[in-house]
Structure 1
């Protein structure tokens, strides 16, 4: 079990449910109570993608990261592929129950295309960004256009982190760190916009928030705070990688970027009228940081 936990980077799944919450809050929770099935589907799809990643990378990992579960022999390649397929199927089934299959299907296809075909091509970062953007849209199933801002912000963040992550083993060009830092800056600005003033507050059945003036002011305050926290934590690590783009510094910046998507999601969720959910995600960021000391998220 410990080997499978490491294979799917289990604690890194804490970075996933916030995608769905950001999309759902922006669209006014179109799936109602079934919304709570969608983070489960998203997590299963994420874990499946992680297992598929290690299956796909087994030859390279045998040279660069022989301690990983597949090249070390602790998990066979066939089992890794079976885990990837099983988790993906489970994620699609749960998404169907939650009314999100139309989005979950292209999301799963993007993840598999990235791992098996596009990872080492110039299109790789954009395929990964598409998967995370679709993950946000999953929460807005039925109204994906309403989640355009949060989907674009998370996708932009993902492009930066993915480009920089290519230097985790041998170091990165300074331009990669610069691109990641620019992406973080734009995503932070998008997250800090108080969209709660413009978007109808979330349904009380999900958040318990009243629909009066306080529910319109608080979202902007929480979004600004979480957006600043995101920019500070992720941007500072990426700035360090820009100044010294060696493998160790890039690896730390990548880890910070993986975890740092959570306060970004929190800011986007709060800004769309769900400040309590946004603050809840901020707590998940602390848990993810602690868990990353046990199982690497990258």
Structure 2
């Protein structure tokens, strides 16, 4: 079956799968971390609105990823919804671009600068989706997408960027770039060179100078280190079929732990660090029902 035979009304499971909804907690913890690091307005309603905007950007980007990859997926991943006839390619495209537009619109209440950063994020998302196949720099572009969540949140709540936001964004981008490198090999269920995974260490290295400033920082550091080590072991050993997708899903969930460490370093306190850290098991739980990749 191909996309021309797609049903008119896709199932809810198809829509959730296309949006990789299981990974949404990682977007929410990105916003929590960005809002704390920015040190600006912490009004819960405004933070929730940014979470909604960033969720729209993320899900829209995932839809467009499947849309632009539909021909390659027909060869390498024929079970993806478009090729399997579960939804029309045009529908996927419309939903994807529509969600990006919604994300930009939701940034308008925070001012012109925030809206512009939202539009920039949408543009980088589209750039990645269009250009990532066969592009050696695509992991860096994906990392930039996540970095812009921190920056966009900071601009929306604090009116601008800061050294702390930029440092946090670089650390987050490095972790996500490492994930993306591994994910590029997922359809082959193998990883070539492991050295690019050193990017995963950047958030940990950033914490080393102040590692012993408190038990909360140490706890967040150990949690992220353990999650990364577990995933890297799977990538290196590959004990069974599906090890690479499993490791990639784990690293995606570990984005929540990157955020937990960022909050700990910013002095956010045990409660907020624990809230972000809980995003890791929550994401892993969701991934059991809806694949994260």
Bucket of the pairwise TM-score, normalised by the shorter protein: 0.7 to 0.9
What is the deviation of 1:50? 0.2
CA distance in 2 between counterparts of 1:77 and 1:63 reads 16
Taking structure 2 as the reference length, the TM-score comes to 0.86
Runs of 4 or more off by more than 6 Å in structure 1?
Answer: none
Deviations 1:202-252 (A, max 9, x none): xxxxxxxxxxxxxxx7xx432321221111112221133124498622222
CA distance in 2 between counterparts of 1:245 and 1:57 reads 29
Query: Which of 265, 270, 279 is the equivalent residue of 1:284?
Result: 279
The 3-state SS of whatever aligns with 1:297 is coil
Structure 1 residues 274 and 236, CA gap change in structure 2 (3 angstroms) = same
CA distance in 2 between counterparts of 1:104 and 1:191 reads 28
CA distance in 1 between counterparts of 2:75 and 2:182 reads 20
More displaced, 136-145 or 288-297?
136-145
The 3-state SS of whatever aligns with 1:144 is coil
Matched, 1:25 2:39: no
Matched, 1:249 2:250: no
Q: Structure 1: which 5+ runs fail to align?
A: 198-216
Query: How many residues are treated as equivalent by the alignment?
Result: 274
In the TM superposition, 1:193-232 aligns within 5 A as 194=210, 220-232=214-226
What is the deviation of 1:165? 0.8
Taking structure 1 as the reference length, the TM-score comes to 0.85
Match of 1:111 in 2: 125
Match of 2:256 in 1: 262
Query: Which of 93, 99, 103 is the equivalent residue of 1:81?
Result: 93
Match of 1:214 in 2: none
Match of 2:23 in 1: 12
Deviations 1:256-294 (A, max 9, x none): 111111111111122212222221111222111110000
CA distance in 2 between counterparts of 1:39 and 1:83 reads 19
Match of 2:290 in 1: 295
More displaced, 89-98 or 151-160?
89-98
CA distance in 1 between counterparts of 2:143 and 2:170 reads 9
CA distance in 2 between counterparts of 1:26 and 1:250 reads 33
The 3-state SS of whatever aligns with 1:102 is helix
